[in-house]
Structure 1
């Protein structure tokens, strides 16, 4: 998404189960401490790459990246919020293909979330309407999922512009798709955002349960990614001019949350069980690893982080890849972050 300074200042599926190795949490913490790569007891950053920053591929600007998805063959797919879909080499990050994205009338898309479905088609969310569309590998629109009226941007619904479907993930088993709103609806308490699900049917996807998640004060939800056991990795992010980005990684569990699809206003007195969350790391606490920033940041490693994918598992930890959206701005960077996350 384009950088939303004003809003911020005032306010995946892998089939294998994730487990800890016999070494246990204490040994994992000691190992990370020795390497100096620990962000917290649960998260370590192995390295980062700015290799794609301000580059082009086949005439397309390689930036504005808002979402990532890992293929079964080890490749990566990245979506730009300016109507481009990039295929990347999973090892080198080198672009290997690009496709144009458009809506049903050929108009530009503000694409924010990405899922590679089991048949190879792509599910991509757009925050303009908002919408979730199924696309072919060449970017062609195949169909469109239903969206509750309340989640539509005002005046059609109660969502704020540039605050809708940012995160998109397919839960283990492939039967449930989940999209995360970035900000609260009008009438809901500040910070309480809605996660909408769809259930797979023979003809596609039908509307499913909806859940409520409370983001930290002043932060929104730019991405969600399912873990192998059915929980969620949730990115929370904000920006303050002159200070920089806040980026936190949470582990969230929607399995015992209340279905809020029929609740008009979510307030502190609505009596619903919110999605439970546990802080894994505030990324400002990560080692900088020699990174530099083009604008003030609490840690020069940070930027406008917006995309996330689980790419594998190593020694009992999930391998998680993050990417920042540079908004095609001289003061921001397209940066990839290689994390190991213990859930």
Structure 2
């Protein structure tokens, strides 16, 4: 009940944020009054408020992951109700805490590896005790950090998932998404691209199981992304299924971003399978398209480079913030790569499963 209460409060605060953009001119395809992207997904609003800003000497951008930061919800509303904060992970080795009302930064946590070097930090989970689970796609790795950023330990990673030559993963194509399944016992990380030797587009989802307070290696699953797309983010739904972002980029055209509902419950455990070829009898994770975000209303958004819909950018982070009228409230954020041609943009969606 406490989780639901805090998430509901966070969602209400987010909806009230004054920085959110208003709808643009009417357009039959992209500016429908209901904001529908598809029968399952609607766009409520978007915000560019943090684009090309700084906080306490840290550039606010390069955002790769989002999480509801419940253990650090010390802020109180006027009625005394705890208000959840939002954690936003930069892939330039820092974590920002954001105010739920305005999305403005309220704190920054520097991150580093065991030798003090910067992390290519991509996936984020705020665990129930306040510790931060953060992936780096350099090795790849999953580290546990204290709320202040200190390293507590590292989770084991199967050798094939390591970047070549140590393993079979491609550089800049490893752990991008991270999520904790309902109940808190299973952690899941999504690879962005296929391993060498696996068929194109077949990426692996690795799990860990919590035992006596530690995470040990669990099952692994195959997920088949659409042609030319990778998996930048994954989030567990309350019923144990997964929201999966698929994303790609074509120069001169722009981004493709699709949202899928995936169900790993009948998928084959591929932890002992050498090469995933499509002819190996492996049952991949089943998936259903919820929306191709090119069909969302533009809402007056503008793009700094060619895009099939000016609302789109390099969307990379995703978090479920609560429920509203039978739908999940889902927040997306784009990674601007600290590039003048890209935008740090938040997208607020309603997703019906």
1:313 counterpart SS class? strand
Say whether the 8 Å CA contact 2:4–2:322 is kept in structure 1: no
CA distance in 2, matches of 1:76, 1:112: 16
CA distance in 1, matches of 2:32, 2:117: 51
Structure 1 segment 215-230 matched on structure 2, within 5 A: 215-230=225-240
Matched, 1:308 2:318: yes
Q: 1:268 deviation in Å?
A: 1.3
Structure 1 segment 281-300 matched on structure 2, within 5 A: 281-300=291-310
Say whether the 8 Å CA contact 2:31–2:299 is kept in structure 1: no
1:35 counterpart SS class? coil
Q: Of residues 107, 121, 124 in structure 2, which corresponds to 1:114?
A: 124
Q: Of residues 43, 48, 51 in structure 2, which corresponds to 1:50?
A: 48
1:150 counterpart SS class? helix
CA distance in 2, matches of 1:184, 1:106: 30
Q: Deviations over 1:138-166 (max 9, x none)?
A: 11111000000000000000000000000
Say whether the 8 Å CA contact 2:329–2:350 is kept in structure 1: yes
2:148 counterpart SS class? coil
2:209 counterpart SS class? strand
Q: 1:204 deviation in Å?
A: 1.2
Structure 1 segment 141-290 matched on structure 2, within 5 A: 141-290=151-300
Partner of 2:77: none
Q: 1:201 deviation in Å?
A: 1.2
Q: TM-score, normalised by structure 1?
A: 0.90
Matched, 1:60 2:70: no
Partner of 2:329: 319
Say whether the 8 Å CA contact 2:31–2:297 is kept in structure 1: no
Long gaps (5+) in structure 2: 6-29, 71-82
Q: Of residues 329, 332, 338 in structure 1, which corresponds to 2:339?
A: 329
Over the residues paired in the alignment, what is the CA RMSD in angstroms? 1.4
Partner of 1:128: 138
1:260 counterpart SS class? coil
Q: 1:110 deviation in Å?
A: 0.3
Structure 1 window deviating more from structure 2 (32-41 vs 164-173): it is 32-41
Q: 1:74 deviation in Å?
A: 1.9
CA distance in 1, matches of 2:305, 2:171: 26
CA distance in 2, matches of 1:75, 1:99: 14
Partner of 2:352: 342
Q: Deviations over 1:187-226 (max 9, x none)?
A: 0000000000000011410000000000000000000000
Partner of 1:77: 87
Structure 1 segment 11-50 matched on structure 2, within 5 A: 35-50=33-48
Q: TM-score, normalised by structure 2?
A: 0.88
CA distance in 2, matches of 1:35, 1:311: 23
Q: 1:34 deviation in Å?
A: 6.7
CA distance in 2, matches of 1:310, 1:232: 11
Say whether the 8 Å CA contact 2:230–2:246 is kept in structure 1: yes
CA distance in 2, matches of 1:35, 1:313: 21
CA distance in 2, matches of 1:154, 1:217: 23
